[in-house]
Amino acid sequence: MPDPDGLPTPTAPAPLRESSEAPGVWREPTRALDLHWGSYRGRWIAGLAMIVVGTACVLVTTTYSLPFLLAGSILQPAGWAVMPSTIGRRVAVVVPVLGFSWLMLGGSGFAWCYAIVLAAWLLVRLRPLPAFAVLLLPIAASLLLPLFVTTYWQGWITILVMSVIVVGSAWLARAGAVALDSWQSVRSLRNTTDRLDAPRP
């Protein structure tokens, strides 16, 4: 509507678009990577699904179900290959994880191999070095399990217990990464020399 004096009425400035992420909110380090193909969420879901299904196929393999071993040996490396991460880390974990997955078929005496799978996950997800302390959890569990799992037919107990521990340890490592990042951010803020409350010369 024009002004009574004939001057145009200034229009209100357009509202600023809010950032999709609030400042200071932690985000997965792998989200900052420049992916050359596919979406982050799509690759993460597909990769995780193939890793889980591939590992499960390997673990249920018996003398009478060898095709499962073949399927798992294909799915698991494919899952690591598509996970969003640096190519060096993805390539580095494929052979060790697959080899130690085969060793898991040996029963509770090889339960410590689950720690290798967890270490590979932490490596690919770019977890900080202190987060690798969670590897002590599956290692400790692998020392206790042979005391309770004494026969081959009790192998499902090993698979169930160690899987729960590995998943829980992965979440614990993520929580540790968030806490460590928050602590480092606060520490950096305290060490900033251009703060308003910093002492002036």
- Enter the tokens of residue 33: 């990577």
pLDDT of residue 29: 87
Residue of higher predicted confidence among 101 and 187? 101
Q: Where residue 194 falls among pLDDT bands split at 50, 70, 90?
A: very low
62 Cβ contact list (under 8 Å, min separation 6): none
Q: Record the pTM.
A: 0.77
pLDDT at residue 190 in the model: 53
Q: How far apart are the first and last CA of the chain?
A: 55
- For residue range 37-73, list pLDDT tens digits in order: 989 999 999 999 999 999 999 998 888 888 999 999 9
Average pLDDT, the chain: 83
Q: Could you identify the residue written with the tokens 């078929």?
A: 105
pLDDT greater than 70 at residue 169: yes
Q: Which residue has the higher pLDDT, 52 or 3?
A: 52
* Residues 115, 138: Cα–Cα separation, whole Å: 6
